[in-house]
Amino acid sequence: MPELPEVETVRNGLKDILIGQTLQTVHIYQEKLRYCVPQQLKQLLPCNKVLGFDRRAKYLLLRVAEGSVLIHLGMSGSLRWLETFEPAKKHDHVDFVFEDGGCLRFHDPRRFGLILWHPGNDSTTHRLLKSLGPEPLTAEFNATYLYEMSRNKRRAIKTFLMDNHIVVGVGNIYANEALFQAGIAPQHHAGTLTIADYNRLVKIIKQVLAKAIEAGGTTLQDFVNGHGSPGYFQQQLFVYGREGQACFKCKTPILNKKIGQRSSFYCPVCQPERS
């Protein structure tokens, strides 16, 4: 599944193209995604100018005067910009066609993505967005906040970080990588980590995500950016997907343990369990 850096890479690649353009028509070829694509988009969007192309967590928000189109890429979705409209192919589900002839195309083989409409100027009140935690690259996400939220929590720090009510966008890949660089075992209880631990961890999470965004996201299976190019951060992963391979720091084999039904990769020497 595309994580926050992948979604931010898509936004960065498309925002300058989309903002200021006027929508001409919307084609819905397949409405049955995670939720049904609203047919009203075909009446609401034409003649509207794109005022913004934002991101909240893993949701992209195409803003016009009357509201926002919420887009989630799901497991295998992608948004691609076509300079000129061309006939839809298999798994192309929705096209946003603009007056200059360009087309924003939503492609999703597994159909776990979504396209929804939220009226009004405040998209944060949408039911899918209103209970989300802070963005990890903002000042609101800091060591004091994370330390206070973790008190009395016996959850593994890995699942704690992946809870979107705590912080958005720290998905499985980047949680593994940040915990390794912070020297914290993924199964360690969140509530027993110290403020010093969280100072180190928050700093590293921000660094890991910023570096991934700069590199264009992580090349995993279906991910491509808004122009159809893959990301390149996978080459820089320390532990994710490296079970049995030697740790780059100490040469100990990387382990893989299921935590919260997700694969957790770590080095037992560099990330020792604490008593």
> CA-CA distance, 72 to 70, in Å (whole number)?
7
Query: Which residue in 2, 5, 136, 186 is the catalytic one?
Result: 2
Alpha-carbon Rg for the chain in angstroms: 20
Query: Which residue in 3, 6, 8, 177 is the catalytic one?
Result: 3
Instruction: Confirm whether 251 is a catalytic residue.
Output: no
Instruction: Confirm whether 2 is a catalytic residue.
Output: yes
Query: Which residue in 11, 56, 58, 158 is the catalytic one?
Result: 58
pTM of this prediction?
0.87
Instruction: Confirm whether 153 is a catalytic residue.
Output: no
- What structural domains and CATH numbers belong to the chain? 4-125 (3.20.190.10), 143-266 (1.10.8.50)
Query: Which residue in 34, 49, 155, 262 is the catalytic one?
Result: 262
Per-residue pLDDT of the chain (275 residues; tens, 9 = 90+): 678 888 998 999 899 999 999 999 999 999 999 999 999 999 999 999 999 999 999 999 999 999 999 999 998 899 999 999 999 999 999 999 999 999 999 999 999 999 999 999 898 899 999 999 999 999 999 999 999 999 999 999 999 999 999 999 999 999 999 999 999 999 999 999 999 999 999 999 999 999 888 877 554 444 344 445 444 445 578 999 999 999 999 999 999 999 999 999 999 999 998 86
Instruction: Confirm whether 262 is a catalytic residue.
Output: yes
Per-residue pLDDT at 185: 98
Per-residue pLDDT at 235: 53
